[in-house]
Amino acid sequence: MTAGLLFDLMMALAVLGTAAWTLAARTQFAAVIGFVATGLLLSLVWVRLGAVDVALTEAAIGAGATGVIILYVVARLRGGTAEISAATPSRAQRALAALLAVAVGGVLALAVLNLPDPAPSLAEAALAGSAPLGLGNPVSAVLMAHRGLDTLLESVVLVFAVLAVWSMAADHRWGGAPGPVFRREESGPLSLLARVLPPVGIVVGIYIAWVGADAPGGKFQGGTILAAMWILPWIAGLARPPSITDWRLRLMIAAGPLTFLCVGLAGFAVADGFLSYPPSFAKPLILLIEAAMTLSVAAALACLIAGPPERRLPPESMAADRR
């Protein structure tokens, strides 16, 4: 028991240490590295907390995808030191900020340590509730059924985000493909990776999404991997992303929430109401939604990472430009 305690203590100190180092890092690049390291340490902490599903998500999205996208922006920001030093808060302000932040953290700690014991829990209810659905992973059951509305809205939020990102584009770039122009590399390590990795990665992504019904994994984790596999050839210049006005890309992004919505509304007819599943078809329906959602998460994440269109495709290539 003490070994576990020691491990927890070490993990806690490591997480806080890297987090503090992230803030103090001299360059933005170093800060991103610190952030990704913190994220990876956190996924270990999640395993310690018995939440393997979250650990996977944290690694894939919290550290991985977030790290990638921040890094990608860091690489494109230049200069502005005078502006930055002018905007940096004074020493007194920073001291006050530290004081207040520690105070808030302190009262928070006080509150957390005073949470009731034994803790209230829905574990039993969730376990009982996931059995009739035929799902072995109660987290997936909560996501798809009991708190299905959260997941539905969250998948809609992803579409909001993609649309918002696109709408930041310059007017004359509308109709272009997401992201900046990447130089095509015929040879070289990136090109090799972009050719070798996707076949394996796609299998792994689909596997993780598939296994989510019964074991840790699911659409978000799998979708993230698929998104990475899709972006890789773009970055290597081996493939062109589709135009943002291409309805097939848009349908891919919206397919998940649309399917979820349709199945949910169908519940009025075939089961007892919105977002309820007929007992005999629960698992197939959920898998159908999961499949559509995996596709949508992959497409949405890829578009979010790539950013708004920064180039305009020649008109003739727009139609033929599907991978």
SS3 assignment for 60-105: HHHHHHHHHHHHHHHCCCCCCHHHHHHHCCCHHHHHHHHHHHHHHH
Is there a contact between 30 and 14 (Cβ–Cβ < 8 Å)? no
* Minimum CB distance to other proteins smaller for 109 or for 319: 109
The footprint of other proteins on residues 104-163 (CB under 8 A) is 104-117, 119-127, 129, 138-139, 141-143, 145-154, 156-161, 163
Nearest approach in angstroms of CB 296 to other proteins is 10
The footprint of other proteins on residues 28-87 (CB under 8 A) is 28, 31-32, 35, 38-39, 42, 45-46, 48-51, 53-54, 57-58, 61-62, 65-66, 69-70, 73-74, 76-80, 83-87
For residue 206, state whether it binds other proteins (rule: CB under 8 A): no
For residue 301, state whether it binds other proteins (rule: CB under 8 A): yes
* Binding-site member from 93, 131, 199, 311 for other proteins (CB under 8 A): 93
Task: Report d(CA 239, CA 158) in Å as an integer.
Answer: 24
For residue 287, state whether it binds other proteins (rule: CB under 8 A): no
Nearest approach in angstroms of CB 31 to other proteins is 6
Nearest approach in angstroms of CB 5 to other proteins is 5
* Minimum CB distance to other proteins smaller for 128 or for 323: 128
What is the maximal distance between C-alpha atoms in the chain?
67
For residue 176, state whether it binds other proteins (rule: CB under 8 A): no
The footprint of other proteins on residues 242-271 (CB under 8 A) is 245, 247, 250-251, 253-254, 257-258, 261, 264-265, 267-268, 271
Task: Report d(CA 185, CA 204) in Å as an integer.
Answer: 26
Tell me if residue 219 falls in helix, strand or coil: helix
How many residues interact with other proteins (rule CB under 8 A)?
152
Nearest approach in angstroms of CB 320 to other proteins is 19
Nearest approach in angstroms of CB 188 to other proteins is 8
DSSP structure string for 20-48: HHHHH-SSHHHHHHHHHHHHHHHHHHHHH
Nearest approach in angstroms of CB 323 to other proteins is 19
For residue 196, state whether it binds other proteins (rule: CB under 8 A): yes
Nearest approach in angstroms of CB 280 to other proteins is 16
How far from 151 is each of 140, 221, 223, 248, 274, CA to CA, in Å? 10, 14, 14, 23, 14
Nearest approach in angstroms of CB 11 to other proteins is 7
Q: 189-211 and 282-306 are packed helices; what angle lies between their axes, rounded to 10 degrees? A: 150
Cβ contacts of residue 167 below 8 Å, gap of 6+? 308
The footprint of other proteins on residues 214-243 (CB under 8 A) is 218, 220
Nearest approach in angstroms of CB 52 to other proteins is 8
Tell me if residue 173 falls in helix, strand or coil: helix
Residue 147: name the closest of 260, 301, 294, 252 by CA.
260
How far from 255 is each of 79, 150, 247, CA to CA, in Å? 41, 17, 11
For residue 281, state whether it binds other proteins (rule: CB under 8 A): no
How far from each other are the two terminal CA atoms of the chain, in whole angstroms? 53
The dihedral sign for the CA sequence 285, 286, 287, 289? positive
* Binding-site member from 40, 202, 211, 276 for other proteins (CB under 8 A): 276
* Binding-site member from 131, 289, 304, 322 for other proteins (CB under 8 A): 304
* Minimum CB distance to other proteins smaller for 85 or for 280: 85
